[in-house]
Structure formats: C-alpha cells, structure tokens
Amino acid sequence: MATARLKTSATPSRVPTTQDLALGEFGINTYDGALYFKRLDADGEAIVTVNVGERQPAIADDSSGAANSATVNAVLAALRAHGLIET
C-alpha cells in the first residue's frame, strides 16, 4: 500500500485545485475542518471535499490535547467512511 501525503492550510475557505493535489495526496484545512482529495474517474479529475464538522481548531492550537484529539478523530472517521483507510 502506498503512503498518503498530506498538505495543510489554515486559511479560511481555502480549497485546493486539481493542480494543488496529486493523486494520493490529501489536503486538510485545519481552519474549516475539511479534508480534500483528488479523484480521477471517467469524467476526469476532481477535488472531493469531506466536511468533518463546523470550524475546528488547528491541530497545534490546543496544548491540552482535548480539541486536538477531537479534530484528528473526526478526520480519521471521515477517511474510514470513504474507504480511504482501514480501521
């Protein structure tokens, strides 16, 4: 199995384009709480958006770890729901 690469942004409403992500790369917007990946099908390339909730704190924002855990768990749940990772 290949290793997935991550690209991150904390800019509000920043959505990657098909030029920004290669196949197998994920984009995570830590401000908006959204995950993006590039899909290639019969219609061509497209960016798929997986919203994992309302605006969430960036992973490095909370030193207690509480909010970090919730954000990471939400991203992992979204990846599992779309069959991108196994349990």
Name 68's bridge partners: none
pLDDT at 76: 74
pLDDT at 87: 58
pLDDT at 19: 95
Residue 60, CA distances (Å) to 31, 69, 81 in order? 11, 11, 25
d(CA 26, CA 5): 6
Asked whether the CA dihedral 72, 78, 84, 87 is positive or negative, the reply is: positive
pLDDT at 58: 47
Question: Which segments of 10-73 are extended strands (E)?
Answer: 25-29, 34-41, 44-51
pLDDT in tens, the chain (87 residues): 556 678 889 899 999 999 999 987 889 888 888 889 888 889 899 998 887 665 544 444 444 445 445 566 777 777 777 777 765
